[in-house]
């Protein structure tokens, strides 16, 4: 049943949206063996950032769990914060495909990503 439903979903999706790729990414070829150490360092850096992200995520979760407010008030505060973020950074609203394509093709600055990470870590 799963295979049939996946096949039907693919057929309907391609009929409606077309069969073009969702994300258009420029080709990046490795120029030489000298690039491998940089990729290794980059992988280690991303691993450290992932650990920090997880610690911050659970720290914020524990912080909000410790706040003695009704769940409805917490939900309203979260919706309000998301609304403010959507006003100043409309790229975070919606399905995000256009924003992801722009990010993959280098249309955003490092400052944008730092601000985005700061706001989305909560």
Give tens-digit pLDDT for 11-31: 998 898 888 887 787 777 777
Closest residue by Cα to residue 79 from 91, 68, 87 = 87
Residue corresponding to tokens 């990503």: 113
Helix (H/G/I), strand (E/B), else coil: 36:
helix
Q: Is residue 5 part of a domain?
A: no
Question: What pLDDT score does 59 carry?
Answer: 92
Residue 19: inside a domain: no
pLDDT in the model for residue 76: 93
Q: Are 31 and 109 in contact (CB under 8 A)?
A: no
Q: In this structure, how many other beta carbons lie within 10 angstroms of the beta carbon of residue 94?
A: 10
Q: Is 114 a member of any domain?
A: yes
Return d(Cα 58, Cα 55) in angstroms, integer: 5
- pTM for the structure as a whole: 0.53
The answer to whether residue 42 sits within a structural domain is: yes
Only one residue has tokens 């309907």, namely 12
Per the structure, the count of domains in the chain is 1
Domain of 61, in residue numbers = 33-120
The model's confidence at residue 34, banded by pLDDT at 50, 70 and 90, is confident
In a domain? residue 15: no
Q: Is residue 50 part of a domain?
A: yes
> Looking at the domain assignment, is residue 10 inside a domain?
no
User: What confidence category does residue 121 fall into, taking pLDDT thresholds of 50, 70 and 90?
Assistant: low
């Amino acid at each position: 049943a799963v295979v049939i439903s996946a096949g039907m979903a693919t057929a309907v999706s391609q009929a409606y949206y077309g069969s073009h790729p969702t994300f258009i990414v420029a080709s990046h070829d490795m120029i030489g063996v000298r690039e491998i150490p940089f990729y290794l360092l980059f992988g280690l850096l991303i691993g450290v950032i992932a650990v920090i992200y997880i610690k911050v995520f659970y720290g914020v979760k524990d912080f909000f769990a410790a706040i003695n407010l009704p769940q409805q008030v917490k939900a309203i505060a979260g919706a309000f914060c998301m609304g403010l973020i959507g006003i100043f950074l409309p790229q975070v609203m919606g399905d995000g495909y256009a924003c992801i394509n722009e990010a993959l093709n280098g249309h955003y600055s490092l400052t944008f990503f730092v601000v985005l990470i700061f706001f989305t870590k909560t």
